[in-house]
Amino acid sequence: MNKLTRQRNKELGLGELIAIALGGMVGGGIFSILGIATENIGNATPYAILIGGVLALCAAYSYVKLALLYKDEGATYSFFKKSFPNSELASSVIGWLIVFGYISTLALYAFTFASYFCSQFDTLNHPIWQKIIAGLIITFFAIINLVSVKGMGKLEDILVYSKIVILLFISGLLAGKGDIQNLIPVFENQTTLTQILIVSAITFVAYEGFQLVIHASNEMDNPQKNIPRAIYSSIVIATLLYVILSIAALSAIPKEIIIADKEYALAAGTKTYLGQFGQFIVIFGALLATSSAISGTLFGASRLMAVIANDGYFPKQLGQKIKTHIPNKAIITMSVFAYVLLATGGLQVILEFGSITFIIVSMLMAYTNYRKRVETNSSLIITATSFLGLLLAGLLIIYFEFTENKEQFIYIIIIYILLGIGAFFYSKKKTNAQQRA
């Protein structure tokens, strides 16, 4: 009986699962999307963020259904591989996409950390220093992950919920100094519905992370109930948090300042409008949120990379581990690629590449759920709507990139071509190895 009690105490409850999802979502996203969204659609930003949350809920539907069907902690990669077992190329493509999606979020979090940190020092507030600091923070957490990884347990819950409390506190500070009249008119003359939908799609990366709940499926109590509860609850909480924060910021800080300093939008003008203490809280919140997100992303995604490598879709060396459980080469490889991405691209291209990638992956999950809708007992209407919504979101970002910044568009296309070549090469390599065997 005591043994059973001890076992039950080790299981993750609903509160801890929500913390895992929020820990992945509430990272650098909200700190980086606010300035870009305000630049494009002004006072309509909260509405775009809300639509982005609805899009995330649509994407989550298929993840939840597939998680309950397969009961596999491998999540996206495993679901696709099991659904299409005879296609080596399909498994390879989804593996490459999801890993490099995580690499883009790692770069985004590091870039955001560096932007907020450097904004407090005149000598460091320069693009070159921002990229150097971003590289250093990635290196710092890579070393931590390489040297020693201990279970965070309740401490992780405290860190995650502390982020939320701090962000709500920041919202309160901004709202207390703000004027709701600054949010009027909501739809300014130059703002169109198409622009709002484009920004909604760009914000999708701020909701990436809810999938982390599925990775803990073997360690949770009653996964059939807690997986959907944790995922849907965390997305709703994150959406409300983002909307509240964006309304508070727009009410207190002039849009011109937010746009001018969009890389650290929430910190822009805070000393003037909130005082020294308010500025400290904003900076502390940003650094705490991005730090925990960098560490968590590197921890989880490197292990996924190792699994995919052991399946033959990445170089086998990336599947190697030290101290029985630390995928050292995967950690180093992800860190290097994240730094290359942030060194060669700016905030917007990283943000949009990440959003497009996770929209593509989520769209593939929706398609997979459509194919398995009888086994998953899924609604055809919801599944089809999710797929079409994600498809539209992806096309809107691509259209925006093609019409507004062709250089960034070409940069993103080149990345996808390289990923496609890598995925094709390793799928053929595995197929040939199987045929020889």
Among candidate residues 367, 436, 407, the one with its CA nearest the CA of residue 65: 367
Furthest-apart CA atoms within the chain: distance in Å = 71
One-letter amino acid at 187 equals F
Predicted local confidence at residue 9, as pLDDT: 45
Q: Can you list the residues of the chain whose pLDDT is less than 70?
A: 1-11, 27-28, 148-157, 159, 324, 437
CB 40 within 8 A of CB 34: no
Q: Please enumerate in sequence order all residues whose Cβ is within 8 A of that of 194, keeping only pairs 6 or more positions apart, or say none.
A: 396
Beta bridge partners of 12: 220
Reduce the secondary structure of 46-89 to three states and give it as a string: HHHHHHHHHHHHHHHHHHHHHHHHHCCCCHHHHHHHHHCCCCHH
Length of the chain: 437
Predicted local confidence at residue 156, as pLDDT: 57
Neighbours of 107 (CB within 10 A): 31
Predicted local confidence at residue 157, as pLDDT: 62
Predicted local confidence at residue 148, as pLDDT: 60
Cα gap 324→303, rounded to integer Å: 12
Predicted local confidence at residue 348, as pLDDT: 81
Cα gap 214→219, rounded to integer Å: 10
- SS3 at position 192: coil
CB 370 within 8 A of CB 387: yes
Beta bridge partners of 326: 322
Would you kindly state where each structural domain of the chain is located, as residue ranges? Answer: 12-426
Among candidate residues 154, 167, 156, 152, the one with its CA nearest the CA of residue 237: 167
Domain 12-426 coded CATH 1.10.1740.10: no
- pLDDT tens, 316-369? 999 888 876 788 999 999 999 999 998 888 888 888 898 899 999 999 999 999
Residue 404 DSSP label: H
Supply the pTM of this predicted model: 0.85
- pLDDT tens, 251-262? 888 888 888 887
Alpha helices in 119-222 (DSSP H): 127-147, 154-177, 193-202, 212-215
